[in-house]
Structure 1
Amino acid sequence: MAQSITSVVHSELVIRKSRFLGCVQPIADRAAARAVVASLRAAHPAANHVCWALLAGGQSAAVDDGEPSGTAGRPMLEVLRHQDLEGVLATVVRYFGGIKLGAGGLVRAYTDCVAQALKDVAKVPLVRMKTLCCVASYALEGVVRREIDASGGLLQQVQHGERVAFVFALAENAAAALVARLGEISHGQIAWIADTIE
């Protein structure tokens, strides 16, 4: 099962006078990752490289930022994949120390920098969410609200018209049980709107 992290973690390595500043953090998408990388470039104008790797909602990226191809971004990405992480950005800012490390040395340095940052971080399982929509009578509104809450669902929208329409999200593996339970409690009086179900 894929996992993520809830906090930002850092590491620092000095290898043959080159300084590697690592960071791994939770991130939503590629746009947010690019913003973080841009802020790192601004914060470290004298750095030679700001390499990064991203795993977020299928948006993977591995950027070497001027290092020899495949020696920075890809190894960092492999560390994230090996630890079964999702929704994370790994960055490493490198200050070149004047001594070349060679391709193997660079791969080890970037891999170790990310792995060291993740060494003691707390990981949390990622729960796939599903959005559901149902319509119920006003008499059933309280029951529906209680069952959504009891199942760990998150109520996103409630509309009051002739009947009450609910839009909510809950863990994908809990959806079928909640639909069955509400059907049982309401004796089939709750209508499910399929086109809003992801």
Structure 2
Amino acid sequence: MSDELNIIIESTQEGMDKAISHLETELVKVRAGKANPNLVDGIVVDYYGTPTLISQVGNVSVADARTLTIQPWEKNMLQPIERAIIAANIGINPQNDGNMIRLFMPPLTEERRKELVKRAQGEGEHSKVAIRNIRRDAMEGVKKLQKNGLSEDVCKDAEKNIQEMTDRYISLVDKHLAAKEKEIMTV
């Protein structure tokens, strides 16, 4: 196989790996009734005019199975952190006691569990679309190489490899989604 073809296949694999790791990080954010510090990952607070992650302006920890605490390093950051959590719309109202912010995870109702499953499936669908787009780009790259003189047999084999890789990653997405759905629906 040519070097260009190897580069296409390696970049395809790399892109699909990134799609799976992104799915994993997004699924962690879909809470299953348990307090998890990753719930506030990605929430940005206004720190003296600079958008800053909550984890960089305070200590995020798990107090118990259903309570998350955020202890800011500066007391004047309580209000901005509280506003950022409300604006992030994670489905939890922050409780500010003047020293720290507590996030109490409400017990999940059946309806809320189904909403969370739909959200997880939406994330899975985004990952599948990303994987298919990566496949499309790789197939176009292989077709360009064929036009530039690479043999048809080698191109067909490469396309078959790319399709098999795509199928493997799509089934991996389905496995992640099934595990998350089981976790969410378990009472």
Q: Which has the higher strand share?
A: 1
Q: Which has the higher helix share?
A: 2
With normalisation by structure 2, the TM-score equals 0.25
Larger radius of gyration: 1
With normalisation by structure 1, the TM-score equals 0.24
Greater relative contact order, per chain length (Cα 8 Å cut-off, separation 6+)? 2
